[in-house]
Amino acid sequence: MDMNAEKQSADQFIIRTFPVGPLQCNCSIIGDRISSRALVIDPGGDPDQIMALINELGLHVVGIIHTHAHLDHILASGVIKEATGAPIYLHEDDKFLWDMVGEQCAMFGLPSISLPEPDSFIKDDEALQCCGGVAIHTPGHTPGSLSFWFEEYKTLIAGDTLFQGSIGRTDLPGGNFEKIVTSIKERIYCLDDDAIVVTGHGPNTIIGDEKSSNGFVRG
């Protein structure tokens, strides 16, 4: 690809990430300027803010997808579905957490909510509906944790699997330390060293930086 084509491709890709909800989960809107197709990833609250940005960007949401089903990543999913008509997706192994959203809310002292049933389950290596994305099953933080890889744009949405200098908790229901280490080493650290990692909370990081300096998992 020549430099002009690379710039045109980069200009086509939209990513907006911002903290939402009571636990300040990073919600991402991924979009294509040419087709106007978009994905909403981890709408963990503040649906009005999410919808305002979608409308400002002039995007058509084709999927609401989740890195995992902890409450701080799913609280606004039903509202976004109602507003956009887009289907809801997650990994089947996290369906038990989705069904426990009321109990999860009670654990954190939040008002209980109900969520619609997922429309479909995402499988490992499944193509996403926008921007050439692919789902990667990265269990450990939860059994159904997913990361979303946009190879052309060297961008990974990692949820709560990998953080800047750290990794996701494994002491919650379904967590497994050995599995999260394997997921990071075998599914994430094999991606481009210069790829951006959008984490579930806090700042972005770079895969190569985490391979060389992460305090829990080195490459």
User: In this model, does residue 3 exceed pLDDT 70?
Assistant: no
User: In this model, does residue 8 exceed pLDDT 90?
Assistant: no
Q: pLDDT per residue over 146-160, tens digit each?
A: 999 999 999 999 999
Average confidence score pLDDT of the chain: 95
**Which are the contacts of 89, defined by CB distance < 8 A and separation ≥ 6?**
63, 64, 65, 66, 118, 119, 120, 121, 122
Domain boundaries 3-213, corresponding CATH code? 3.60.15.10
pLDDT band at 17 (very low <50, low <70, confident <90, very high): very high
- Predicted confidence at residue 1, as pLDDT, reads 43
Task: Please state, as a whole number, how many other Cβ atoms lie within 10 Å of the Cβ of residue 36.
Answer: 15
Domain residue spans in the chain? Answer: 3-213
Tell me the pTM.
0.96
Kindly report the length of the chain.
219
Report the DSSP beta bridge partners of residue 134: 127, 149
Task: Please state, as a whole number, how many other Cβ atoms lie within 10 Å of the Cβ of residue 112.
Answer: 10
pLDDT band at 9 (very low <50, low <70, confident <90, very high): low
